[in-house]
Amino acid sequence: MRVVKKYSHLNGEEWLIVHENDTYEEILTSLRVVNANEFCRDSTGAASRIQETKLDPVTLASAFCDELSARGWSPLSHSHCVAGNSDQIKLKQCETPHEPECCLTIQSADTVLVTHQIDHFKNRIGVKMRFDRSESVVYDLYGRYLPFCAEGMIEVGIEILPTKAMQQEMSSGIAYYEGELHNILRHGRSNPPVPLVIIGVEPD
């Protein structure tokens, strides 16, 4: 695959180039070595009943995951408690932010432990390839990266999306770079409050 579009939010790419350029290059290299055209499947259009060959988003994303894993990237999890009443929990300073029970003094048993995960993590960078529906991308950009950034576990989140041209070669309903970039820009320069790099990819 090749990178054809990029957007740096809150100087996300600038931080990568200055502080972790070699690690950033690992991501770009992993994208380049994946040949999207090798990951296709046959599908039948509902209207025409004509068999078509489409890019398979699941196996394509899996191939990229394998490339990053081979370079030492691994998942990262973060847990915290939520409750229906703010009086039930009291925030305190975390000495070890990876331990959820350290971050909250639980005042009631009526709490729920919530866990967030980033698929690929290395050197304070979180990466997610999203060949999925738009609501999943929205959760990534406005919810997934935020707790990790707030705890100082990551500095930058990287969201990899197909361009509109590539999305048209995949199954319907998948989010695409141009649409999600529009959603970010209409919220203003400081929202989401996390440095991000949005990458649009296409087959070679």
Residue 37 counted as domain residue: yes
Instruction: Check whether 146 has a pLDDT greater than 50.
Output: yes
Return the pLDDT at 91. Answer: 52
CATH value at residue 181: 3.40.91.20
Given pLDDT bands bounded at 50, 70 and 90, which one contains residue 180? very high
Q: Is 125 domain-assigned?
A: yes
Tallying the residues shown for the chain, one arrives at: 204
* Structural domain boundaries enclosing 9: 2-73+120-202
Asked whether residue 170 is assigned to any structural domain, the reply reads yes
**Percent share of the chain, pLDDT over 90:** 60
pTM for the complete prediction?
Answer: 0.84
Mean pLDDT, all residues of the chain = 85
Cis amide prior to 193 (ω within 30 degrees): no
pLDDT given for residue 90 in this prediction: 57
pLDDT confidence band for 188 (50 / 70 / 90): confident
Q: Is 33 exposed, middle or buried (0-12, 13-18, 19+ CB in 10 A)?
A: exposed
The predicted structure's pLDDT at residue 78: 84
Average pLDDT over residues 180-185: 92
Residue 58 lies in a domain: yes
Residue 115 lies in a domain: no
54 found inside a domain? yes
| pLDDT bucket at 93, cuts 50 / 70 / 90 | very low
Domain-located, residue 176: yes
The tally of domains found in the chain comes to 1
In a domain, 97, yes or no: no
Question: Which one, of 117, 109, 65, lies nearest residue 89 by Cα?
Answer: 109
**31-88 residue pLDDT tens:** 999 999 898 877 655 444 445 678 999 999 999 999 999 999 999 998 877 777 666 6
